[in-house]
Chains A and B, each alone.
Chain A
């Protein structure tokens, strides 16, 4: 059974802080994704990675960066958090050539 875990369920940070969101998957998937989920806007892709140290911008990469040093781990970094980054962040993974994307439980980030 595929498991995608995220380091925190809830996080409260202050404006200007550097924020790290961690995601780990245990199924040796090549592809990992970070989305943010906002009411009425659905799931929007921030960044994805198709291999270790490889990354591609998604639809809304501004204000975010990512790191993938190991295959199982994909980190989302907010260099200087802002209030408009308050959201639910979802990590997902998928095998190359696979159709099913597996999501973690999400991290609800509040930036004050």
Chain B
């Protein structure tokens, strides 16, 4: 119940395409859903996050879509660029106890020129 399932494991798109990464969770106590971006040789960094009381959040070319009833959320990257090539992790945080982040398994995105 603490898992966050992420797919696909890897993704290749052409420049300008719209890669979509999907995540699903079971625990309804999760109340915060961030996405982290990791470039090679670097630690993950917060990219964008959403709370379950909204269905969509946009920041620049990055959009999170959230479906509370289906317990799913996804990351869309509009007009993707080669510089977006990175590993993306979805995560979820509970609202009780130590409020640990539970991470998905990651998606390696390659945007070809």
Asked if A pairs with B, the answer is yes
A residues engaging B (CB < 8 A)?
A: 4, 31, 35, 40-45, 48, 50, 56, 58, 90, 92, 99-106
What residues on A are CB-neighbors of B89 within 8 Å? 42-43
Q: Known contacts A48-B100, A56-B98, A99-B32: does B46 contact A42 (CB below 8 Å)? A: no
CA separation between A48 and B97, bound complex, in Å?
A: 13
What residues on A are CB-neighbors of B100 within 8 Å? 45, 48, 58
**What range describes how many residues of B lie at the interface?**
20 to 34
Tell me whether B20 is interfacial, beta carbon within 8 Å: no
What residues on B are CB-neighbors of A42 within 8 Å? 6, 89, 103-106
CA separation between A103 and B45, bound complex, in Å?
A: 7
B43 x A103 contact (CB < 8 A):
yes
What residues on A are CB-neighbors of B41 within 8 Å? 105-106
B32 x A4 contact (CB < 8 A):
no
Closest A residue by C-beta to B101: A101
A99 x B49 contact (CB < 8 A):
yes
**B6, B42, B101: the one within 8 Å of A105 (CB):** B42
13 residue pairs A–B, Cβ–Cβ below 8 Å: A4-B43, A35-B103, A40-B9, A41-B105, A42-B106, A44-B103, A45-B100, A48-B100, A92-B43, A99-B49, A101-B46, A103-B43, A105-B43
What residues on B are CB-neighbors of A101 within 8 Å? 46, 101
- 15 new A-B pairs (CB below 8 Å) besides A43-B106, A44-B103, A103-B36? A4-B43, A40-B9, A40-B105, A40-B106, A42-B103, A48-B100, A50-B98, A56-B98, A90-B43, A90-B44, A99-B34, A102-B45, A105-B42, A105-B43, A106-B42
Q: Which one of A50, A99, A100 has the highest number of Cβ atoms from chain B below 10 Å of its Cβ?
A: A99
Closest B residue by C-beta to A9: B41
Q: Which of B6-22 contact A (CB under 8 A)?
A: 6, 9
Closest A residue by C-beta to B90: A42
CA separation between A90 and B43, bound complex, in Å?
A: 7
What residues on A are CB-neighbors of B104 within 8 Å? 42
